[in-house]
Amino acid sequence: MLNLENLSKSFRGGSFGSGAVPAVRQVSFSIAPGEVTSLIGESGSGKSTIGKMILRLLPVSSGRITFDGVDVASLEGSALKEYYRKVQGVFQDPFSSFNPVFRADRIFRMLEREYFGDLGAREWSAKLHTSLEAVGLNPADVLGKFAHELSGGQLQRLLVARALLLDIEILVADEVISMLDASTRVDVLNLLAGLKERGLGVLFITHDLSLGHYISEHTVILRRGVVLEIGETAKVFGNPQHSYTKMLLASVPRLHSHWEPLEPGEPARTGPRDAPRGRGRRARGQPLEPVPLLVEVEPGHLVAFEDGGTATAGDER
Amino acid sequence: MSLDVQNLVVAYRTLRGDVRAVDDVSFSVADGEIMGLAGESGCGKSTLGNSLVRLDRTMRCLGGRALLDGTELPLSDWDAMDDFRFKKVSLVPQYSMSALNPTRRIGKMISEVVRSRKIRYKDVLPELERRLRLVGLPTDVLAKYPIELSGGMKQRVVMVLTTLLDPSLLVADEVTSALDVSTQRAVGGMLVELRDMGIVTSTIVITHDLSVLVQVADSVVVMYAGKLVERAPTATVVDAPRHPYTKLLIASLPEVGVRYAEHVLAGIPGHPPSLLDPPKGCRFADRCPLASAECAVEPPLVELESGHFVACWKAS
Amino acid sequence: MSKDTTTTKDDTAAPTEEGNTAPRHELVYFALRNRKLVIGLSIVGLLGLAAIVAPFSARSNPDAFVGPPMQPPSSSYLLGTTYFGQDVYSQLVNGLRQSFLVGIMGGGIAFVVATAVGFTAGYRGGAVDEVLNMLTNVLLVIPTLALLIIVGGYLKGTSIVFEAMFVGATAWPWAARAIRAQTLSLVSRDFVGLARLSGVRSWRIVVGEVAPNMSSYLFLTFILLFGNAILISASYDFLGFGPPGGVSLGSMMNLAFAWNALQLHIWWWFVPPGVAIMGIVGGLYVTNVGLDEVFNPKLRSL
């Protein structure tokens, strides 16, 4: 069980950290074994930052992440190595995950050196083959190749296979299929969904609502580092409460229906999305809007409290 | 008939020989039509769209021709194309909004672009400002730097600039891809508005995302491994596709409402063939569940019903 | 912008995937086809060879007075003799030897410091980066040659080794900055994150994962540092601050000018060392440009 408690992250801006830019603010949720939790947000929402903090690739600013009751930030040296035995990640760009200078096997070679040094060559090879077959790869097709000789789908499978070599309990999947082709992405998606049957907890980070809806048991909707809606996926998608969630759902392009107008008479483009982008999006001197309280609207479904319940456009500007 | 492409072949030159990224493709786009060009990475859709406006030095046109309003476009002749580029045919390249020079104000950047086309900035400024207002942008964006604009605003600025001279043909290459859903919607809406207002006569929208095409396009061309496999009105492609590739592709797309727990989607096994040495017959045959002996011969593009073209032996 | 930028099209993915299967083989192909690289390497290689075989090919001790003064080149004195009757050819090959020594030592030291500082700053980031960056920037604005003249003035009797060490200790900042920038961009790539998730220690990630990705860049950096060290040392000697005796290319030219070789038309005294310095530095530069074209696919022409 991995818990996020009031997790916050600020990036230092300016020299010697003279200004702090908040990326994630007081986020709390947990990733349970045997479930996929999707963390859905648009660019700049801080969703990847949360994934990187869980993987200890970024330090936490305040709040904490606990794994089986232990604060992850306190882990060093061999304890951190043991943490990585249980918690692993797969990233967005399969090509950037492989060192272009070396063959793709290097990701396995590193694990062998660091974790399975006492394993004989034959046992290691058997273990590797089992793991590759578990993700639907034929070892002969993929071993000994360079990353550019393999397809994006094969590479992402290799990365999942790498994680499965360890005794992982939690997998952080950060936008893992957004760069794959449509005809192969669903296979990787099914592979991730299948992991929960092995008792794994998966954090599925995505900007794509349809993917999140397809795969997950729980959904967290994030905007500008703040949780706006959280709960069982069926409830969040079936009965969206926050105006932002509603706006997102209305904007998703669908295959079998057209966009419905957001608000009658209001052209779509004058909506909230014109807020300037990037880390420096908050104008200097402008006070930070407070982190809203989460209110339980039905069992297992929490929604951020909105002032007067007005449209999103109001609190965005 | 606004655009008519006949038997176009475009190849990339590599050390190992020519790679025919677009191989014998024919289609036409009517006045006022928004045509979607869909397919997976490497299928040639971007090459096709780009070749109609700017065939760069690594590409070569090996055959076929493209007629715009009855005039043949000199695709292979970079300098002769200058008479058409920006005026008659215009391209919004992939990632163009990230390619804006960060040290130039938007207005300065636009004035440099129009000057390179021998047009005075002052002459187009009133129209430019009118167009910006038309797409919901304040005219003071001209005084801003790219970093001060959101992704959607930058994309709209780029689109206003590329359509400033009312081109007959606009090629929009993955203009919605790097955007959030809410912004995607705004940019998609703008493509339709440009057409509705008569600023652009015909449009080719290149994207890997079929669901975006459902929102904006009148018709869709599906490409696979350099070949055109299916062309039909958008609703037909989505609801009643006839080519096995299109069918499988659409069946593999998760949509809000579909859940793994209830319905497991399936991908298409295998991967597209290498274009350096493509298979002789149907290029989809080795991944196709329906493939049989006749697929060793390349299927012609056949019009099954009015406006619905399919290149497959099994479709008729 | 929208009209004039070359953009990468996703459609090119397929062809390049096919074309890259033998990257090493391809590098050799482009290297041999690159005329700049071949010419540059030939010049530097020939001069280097002359420096290596100097002790065997030299007719005499470079400082020894072997014959009549001011002899033009002839069969007995290949490049003639100096105002004092020393053999110019022997001085030249020994000077080349000294120059290459300064280049390898000075360039090598600068390279080691630059990589250490650049990698540490780029990989560690944060406060470490800021401190190292400040140090780098301070040293960057101090002109090495001027500082060398001042410091050399206090320490009477400088040697070639001193020059090399001094150049090595002061000429690294620009290289450190460049390496830091490259490291910064590589560290943000996912394979570095994945190596960390595999429990690999930091130094091993830098040496084993990051550095191999910029090997061509590091090589180019070393070449430039090497040429720079030779040039600075030659300038220092030419200005007359070098060790006594006509042993280096710079001091050969210094003596030639001090004894009015120009007015006396003893061109064979100052032209050979001048051409040698120009050959080394120019050859290295041309090599550098050629290598850049070979390593960078965007600059290659088919």
Instruction: Please check whether residue A51 touches C, CB under 8 A.
Output: no
Section B238-244 average pLDDT: 94
Site of tokens 């929102």? B215
The CA distance from A299 to C37, in Å, is 72
Section B269-283 average pLDDT: 87
Instruction: Please check whether residue B11 touches C, CB under 8 A.
Output: no
Query: 39-68 in B: which are within 8 Å (CB) of A?
Result: 40-41
Q: From first to last of its 302 residues, what are the pLDDT tens digits of chain C?
A: 333 333 333 333 333 333 344 456 777 787 788 888 899 999 999 988 888 887 777 667 777 777 777 777 877 777 777 777 788 888 888 888 888 888 999 999 999 999 999 999 999 888 899 999 999 998 888 888 888 888 887 876 678 888 888 889 888 999 999 999 999 999 989 999 999 999 999 999 999 999 988 888 898 899 899 999 999 888 888 887 877 765 788 888 888 888 777 788 888 888 888 999 899 989 998 988 888 887 776 666 54
Query: Which residues in chain C are contacts of A102 at CB distance < 8 A?
Result: 212
Q: Which two tokens stand for residue A85?
A: 């035995």
Query: Which residues in chain C are contacts of B93 at CB distance < 8 A?
Result: 2, 5, 7
A55/C191 touch (CB, cutoff 8 Å), yes or no: no
Quick check: A94 and A110 in contact, CB under 8 A? no
Query: 199-218 in B: which are within 8 Å (CB) of A?
Result: 208-212, 214-215
Query: Which residues in chain A are contacts of B188 at CB distance < 8 A?
Result: 253, 259
- Please give, rounded to a whole number of angstroms, the shortest distance from the CA of B12 to a CA of chain A: 18
- For residue C196, what pLDDT is reported? 93
Instruction: Please check whether residue A95 touches B, CB under 8 A.
Output: no
B276/C3 touch (CB, cutoff 8 Å), yes or no: no
The CA distance from B54 to B59, in Å, is 10
β-bridge partners, B28 = B4
- For residue C253, what pLDDT is reported? 84
Name the residue among C8, C14, C302 with its Cβ closest to that of B42: C14
B96/C13 touch (CB, cutoff 8 Å), yes or no: no
Quick check: B242 pLDDT over 80?
Answer: yes
Between vectors from CA C38 to CA C36 and to CA C44, what angle results, nearest 5°?
Answer: 95
- Please give, rounded to a whole number of angstroms, the shortest distance from the CA of A41 to a CA of chain C: 21
Closest by CA to C284, choosing from C231, C234, C223, C228, is C223
CA A294 to chain centroid, in Å, comes to 21
- For residue C86, what pLDDT is reported? 80
Of residues B190 and A15, the one with the higher pLDDT is B190
Domain C24-299 has CATH 1.10.10.10: no
The CA distance from A317 to A289, in Å, is 11
Instruction: Please check whether residue B136 touches A, CB under 8 A.
Output: yes
Instruction: Please check whether residue A181 touches B, CB under 8 A.
Output: yes
Query: Which residues in chain B are contacts of A214 at CB distance < 8 A?
Result: 254, 258-260, 265
Q: Which two tokens stand for residue C266?
A: 């003893």
The CA distance from B227 to B214, in Å, is 22
Query: Which residues in chain C are contacts of B41 at CB distance < 8 A?
Result: 10-11, 13-14
The CA distance from A88 to A201, in Å, is 11
Quick check: A106 and A99 in contact, CB under 8 A? yes
Query: Which residues in chain B are contacts of A94 at CB distance < 8 A?
Result: none
Instruction: Please check whether residue B113 touches C, CB under 8 A.
Output: yes
Instruction: Please check whether residue A283 touches B, CB under 8 A.
Output: no
The CA distance from C172 to B171, in Å, is 49
C195/A115 touch (CB, cutoff 8 Å), yes or no: no
Q: What ranges do the domains of chain C cover? A: 24-299
Residues of chain A falling short of pLDDT 70: 13-19, 261-287, 307-317
Grade residue B245 by pLDDT with cuts at 50, 70 and 90.
Answer: very high
Name the residue among C3, C9, C29 with its Cβ closest to that of B86: C3
Name the residue among C20, C21, C194 with its Cβ closest to that of A97: C194
Query: Which residues in chain B are contacts of A233 at CB distance < 8 A?
Result: 259
Q: Which two tokens stand for residue C177?
A: 């900055």
DSSP 8-class letter at A240: -
CA distances from A248 to A13, A27, A237, B156, B217 (A): 30, 20, 11, 20, 21
Instruction: Please check whether residue B88 touches C, CB under 8 A.
Output: no
Out of A85-94, B52-61, B188-197, C154-163, which region has the weakest mean confidence (pLDDT)? C154-163
- For residue A15, what pLDDT is reported? 56
Around Cβ A34, how many Cβ atoms within 10 Å?
13
DSSP string, chain B: --EEEEEEEEEEEETTEEEEEEEEEEEEE-TT-EEEEE--TTSSHHHHHHHTT---TTEEEEEEEEEETTEEP-TT-HHHHTTTBTTTEEEE-TTGGGGS-TTS-HHHHHHHHHHHTT--HHHHHHHHHHHHHHTT--GGGGGS-GGGS-HHHHHHHHHHHHTTT--SEEEEESTTTTS-HHHHHHHHHHHHHHHHTTS-SEEEEEES-HHHHHHH-SEEEEEETTEEEEEEEHHHHHHS--SHHHHHHHHT---TT--TTT-------S-PPPTTS--SS-TTGGG-TT--GGGGSPPPPEEEETTEEE--TT--
Query: Which residues in chain C are contacts of B174 at CB distance < 8 A?
Result: 10
The greatest distance separating any two alpha carbons of chain C, rounded to the nearest whole angstrom, comes to 74
Instruction: Please check whether residue B237 touches A, CB under 8 A.
Output: no
Query: 251-310 in B: which are within 8 Å (CB) of C?
Result: 272, 274-276
Query: 19-48 in A: which are within 8 Å (CB) of B?
Result: 42-43
Domains and CATH numbers, chain B: 3-310 (3.40.50.300)
Query: Which residues in chain B are contacts of C28 at CB distance < 8 A?
Result: none
E strands, A68-125, are: 70-71, 87-90
With H, G, I as helix, E, B as strand and everything else as coil, classify residue A63: strand
Query: Which residues in chain C are contacts of B102 at CB distance < 8 A?
Result: none
Quick check: B12 and B19 in contact, CB under 8 A? yes
pLDDT cut 70: percent of chain B above it: 100
With H, G, I as helix, E, B as strand and everything else as coil, classify residue A67: strand
The CA distance from C225 to C111, in Å, is 7
The CA distance from A287 to A281, in Å, is 12
Quick check: A172 and A203 in contact, CB under 8 A? yes
Query: Which of the residues C21, C191, C214, C219 would you substitute to probe the A interface, choosing the one with the greatest number of A C-beta atoms within 10 Å?
Result: C191
Residue-wise pLDDT tens digits, B95-122: 888 888 889 999 999 999 899 888 899 9
Site of tokens 């390619």? B99
- For residue A148, what pLDDT is reported? 83
Query: Which residues in chain C are contacts of B85 at CB distance < 8 A?
Result: 3
C14/B113 touch (CB, cutoff 8 Å), yes or no: no
Query: 169-208 in C: which are within 8 Å (CB) of A?
Result: 189-191, 193-200
Chains in contact with C, where contact requires at least 3 CB pairs less than 8 Å apart: A, B
Residue-wise pLDDT tens digits, A154-185: 899 999 999 999 989 999 999 888 888 888 88
pLDDT cut 90: percent of chain A above it: 54
- Please give, rounded to a whole number of angstroms, the shortest distance from the CA of C1 to a CA of chain B: 6
The CA distance from C71 to C59, in Å, is 15
- For residue A238, what pLDDT is reported? 92
Query: Which residues in chain C are contacts of B43 at CB distance < 8 A?
Result: 11
- Please give, rounded to a whole number of angstroms, the shortest distance from the CA of B113 to a CA of chain C: 7
Quick check: C99 and C249 in contact, CB under 8 A? yes
Phi/psi for A193 (5° steps) reads -60, -35
Name the residue among A210, A237, A273 with its Cβ closest to that of B254: A210
Domains and CATH numbers, chain A: 2-316 (3.40.50.300)
DSSP string, chain C: -TTT-----GGGHHHHHHHTS-HHHHHHHHHHH-HHHHHHHHHHHHHHHHHHTHHHH-SS-TTSB-S-TTPPS-SSSTT-B-TT-BBHHHHHHHHHHHHHHHHHHHHHHHHHHHHHHHHHHHHH-HHHHHHHHHHHHHHHTS-HHHHHHHHHHHSSS--HHHHHHHHHHHS-HHHHHHHHHHHHHHHTSHHHHHHHHTT--HHHHIIIIIGGGGHHHHHHHHHHHHHHHHHHHHHHHHTT-S-SSS-SHHHHHHHHHHTTTTTTT-HHHHHHHHHHHHHHHHHHHHHHHHHHHHH-GGG---
The CA distance from C218 to B263, in Å, is 53
Which residue on chain B is closest to A210 by alpha carbon? B256
B116/C6 touch (CB, cutoff 8 Å), yes or no: no
Name the residue among A96, A102, A148 with its Cβ closest to that of C17: A148
Closest by CA to B245, choosing from B275, B293, B289, is B289
- Please give, rounded to a whole number of angstroms, the shortest distance from the CA of B215 to a CA of chain A: 6
Query: Which residues in chain C are contacts of B101 at CB distance < 8 A?
Result: 1
B101/C1 touch (CB, cutoff 8 Å), yes or no: yes
